[in-house]
Copies of this chain bind each other. A is one copy, B any other.
Amino acid sequence: MEGMRVDAEILKAKLRAAGMRVTAPRLAVLEAVHHGGHCNADALTVAARERLGSLSRQAVYDNLHALLEAGLVRRIEPANAPALYEARVGDNHHHLVCRQCGRVEDVDCVVGRRPCLEPSEAHGFDIDEAEVTFWGLCPACQPRPTNP
C-alpha cells in the first residue's frame, strides 16, 4: 500500500483539486494511466475494465480528454502508432521510441537548459512547446553481436 501502487486517495484528491467530479470510471482511468507507463487507449480500457468490471470505450476517451485538459495526464503521439498516455506531467520531458517494438522511455530535457525552445528561425510563430522524440532501437531490438 505504498509506492508500488499510487494510492487511490491521492488520485481522488488530485481530481478534486482540479475541480473534477470523482467517478469510478474516471478514477479507474487515471489509475490505469499511472500504472501503465506509456499506454494507448486500448490498453487503458482493458486495465480500467479489470478494476471496474465494465466500461464503455467512450467513457475512456471522455475521461482521457478531461484528464488531459485538467493537466493530470499527458498525451504523446509517436508516428506510426496510436496515441499514448502518461502520468508524468508538467516537466516537458522528452521521449525515446523504439522503431521496432514501439517501446517508449522518458528522457529528461536534452543538453543544457531548454535548448530546444530556441529554433534558429521562428517564422513569426509564438512557440509554447518543443517536443523532442529520439528514434532508435531499444536494447532488446538491437541486433546481437554474434559472439564467436
* Chain A positions near chain B (C-beta within 8 angstroms): 75-77, 79-80, 83, 94, 96, 98-99, 105, 107-112, 115-139, 142
Contact = CB atoms under 8 A, between A and B. Distances in A.
Instruction: Please tell me how many copies of the chain the complex holds.
Output: 2
A132 B132 contact: yes
Given A77-B80, A79-B76, A96-B125, A134 B119 contact: yes
Contacts of A79: 75-77, 83
A136 B125 contact: yes
B111 A123 contact: no
Contact of A108 (B121, B135, B139, B142): B121
Contacts of A99: 128
A118 B139 CA distance: 17
Nearest to A77: B79
Contact of A128 (B112, B116, B135): B135
Q: Which residue of A98, A119, A132, A142 has the most chain B CB atoms within 10 A of its CB atom?
A: A119
Q: When A and B form their complex, which 4 residue pairs have the shortest distance between CB atoms, in order from nearest?
A: A127-B136, A77-B79, A124-B139, A107-B119
28 contacts: A75-B79, A77-B79, A77-B80, A79-B83, A96-B123, A105-B125, A107-B121, A107-B122, A107-B123, A108-B121, A110-B119, A110-B120, A115-B116, A119-B134, A122-B134, A123-B138, A123-B139, A124-B139, A125-B139, A126-B137, A126-B142, A127-B134, A129-B136, A130-B134, A130-B135, A131-B132, A131-B134, A133-B133
